[in-house]
């Protein structure tokens, strides 16, 4: 049965999945890049995001590969697509990733402001969903045609789906850094009472990888 999955989502030791003050200069928030030092050197990042035939292998890359397996669609929050707030001032902004984003499947962007779909190179089309997380999930599963849907974030979007117990599996990466402020993933959420359990944990030189699954 197709799943809604979170994969390769990094948090700090103190639970923050993004730093404060996201901007064009700091797309992950101030200090947020520290969370992803485990991912940047991997073959998966170098190939899928930068288009290079290089990078590290090992535990971190193995988990990164798993995150891209059997995917038919993605869901993203507005902040994961753009640093722009409010109404779209124009339609020139088409994401952080250039003409060929690393998704290669339909991507559904949650937003309060309507916008026409954007077809990109490599099979990625961005669709903008204005009527909530359930509609986005329904459309994503339809587009995925029997494959899984990956929930890319950010923190607020994952929290919304988590509270509704709609996420089937979370691959969480705890990076050895402290942010002190930003967006905290689990604050005021009793994930255990929602029926989630940790089923796998593996430590690499750069991070600790956790698999959390919904059991009821």
Query: With 80 as the cut, is the pLDDT of residue 127 above it?
Result: yes
Residue 143 belongs to some domain of the structure: yes
In a domain, 22, yes or no: no
What torsion do the CA atoms of 148, 7, 189, 194 make, to the nearest 10 degrees? 40
Task: Give the confidence band of 35 by pLDDT, cuts at 50, 70, 90.
Answer: very high
Segment 57-85, tens digit of pLDDT: 999 999 999 999 999 999 999 989 998 88
Is the pLDDT score of 135 beyond 90? yes
92 within some domain: no
CATH number at 146 reads 3.40.430.10
Tokens 């005021």, located at residue: 188
Residue 50 CA, distance from chain mean position: 17
CA distance 32 to 55: 21
Comparing 25 with 62, which gets the higher pLDDT? 62
| pLDDT bracket for residue 91 (50, 70, 90) | confident
The C-alpha atoms of residue 160 and residue 26 are separated, in whole angstroms, by 24
How large is the average pLDDT for residues 122-147?
A: 97
pLDDT of residue 148: 98
Q: In this predicted model, what pLDDT tens digit does every residue of 146-186 receive, in sequence order?
A: 999 999 989 999 999 999 999 999 999 999 999 999 999 99
How buried is 54 (Cβ within 10 angstroms: 0-12 exposed, 13-18 middle, 19+ buried)? exposed
Strand 169-174 relative to strand 196-203, pairing = unpaired
Residue 47 belongs to some domain of the structure: yes
Domain-located, residue 91? no
90 belongs to a structural domain? no
Which residue, among 143, 17, 3, has the nearest Cα to 80 in the 3D structure? Answer: 17
When divided into structural domains, the chain yields a total of 1
Residue 96 has pLDDT above 90, yes or no: no
pLDDT of residue 201: 97
Question: Average of pLDDT values for 139-149?
Answer: 98
Q: Which domain holds residue 8?
A: 4-17+29-84+97-214
What number is the average pLDDT over the span 15-29?
85
The yes-or-no verdict on residue 200 having pLDDT over 80 is: yes
pLDDT at 195: 97
Question: Considering the domain boundaries, does residue 138 fall inside one?
Answer: yes
């Amino acid at each position: 049965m197709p799943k809604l999955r979170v994969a390769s989502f990094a948090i700090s030791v103190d639970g923050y999945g993004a730093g404060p003050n996201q901007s064009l200069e700091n797309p992950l928030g101030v200090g947020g890049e520290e969370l992803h030092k485990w991912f940047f050197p991997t073959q998966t990042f170098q190939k899928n995001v930068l288009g290079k035939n290089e990078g590290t292998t090992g535990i971190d890359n193995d988990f990164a590969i798993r995150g891209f397996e059997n995917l038919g669609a993605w869901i993203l929050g507005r902040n994961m697509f753009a640093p722009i707030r409010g109404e779209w001032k124009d339609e020139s902004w088409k994401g952080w990733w250039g003409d060929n984003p690393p998704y290669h499947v339909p991507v559904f962007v949650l937003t309060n402001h309507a916008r026409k779909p954007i077809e990109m190179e490599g099979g990625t089309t961005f669709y903008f969903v204005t009527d909530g997380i359930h509609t986005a999930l329904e459309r994503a599963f339809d587009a995925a045609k029997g494959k899984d849907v990956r929930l890319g974030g950010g923190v607020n979007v994952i929290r919304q789906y988590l509270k509704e117990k709609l996420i089937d599996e979370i691959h969480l990466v705890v990076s050895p850094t402290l942010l002190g402020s930003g967006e905290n993933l689990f604050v005021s959420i009793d994930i255990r009472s929602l029926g989630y359990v940790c089923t796998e944990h593996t430590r690499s030189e750069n991070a600790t990888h956790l698999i959390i699954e919904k059991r009821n």
